[in-house]
Amino acid sequence: MESGFGTLPSGLALERKYSDLTHGPEGSLSSVLAAHITAVTNLREAFLEAGRGYRETEDDSTSRIANTGPR
């Protein structure tokens, strides 16, 4: 495998280090981005659910007001 770090042991170690930073274990760029994507997706779902709840409450209140008429 050819890379910009060369074939010396120090170059291979450096290549491994950078690879771990981007695609390695927990704390790597890819794992942090995946966690952020999950958080944003969960927030989106929470806001959509809140919007549905607001709409249902608004429809229910409007219906009750329309059915009771003025007093």
Dist. CA 57–CA 64, nearest whole Å? 10
Q: Please report, for residues 13, 16, 33, 34, 71, the alpha-carbon distance to residue 26 in angstroms, rounded to integers and kept in the order given.
A: 19, 15, 11, 10, 64
In this predicted structure, the answer to whether residue 65 has a pLDDT above a threshold of 70 is yes
E strands in the chain: none
Dist. CA 12–CA 19, nearest whole Å? 10
Q: What pTM was computed for the model?
A: 0.60
Q: Residue 24 has what pLDDT?
A: 78
**In 3-state terms, what secondary structure has residue 27?**
coil
Q: What digits encode the pLDDT tens for the residues 2-52?
A: 567 888 889 889 988 888 888 877 788 998 999 999 999 999 999 999 999
Q: Token match 């695609």: residue?
A: 23
More confident of the two residues 69 and 7: 7
pLDDT band at 68 (very low <50, low <70, confident <90, very high): confident
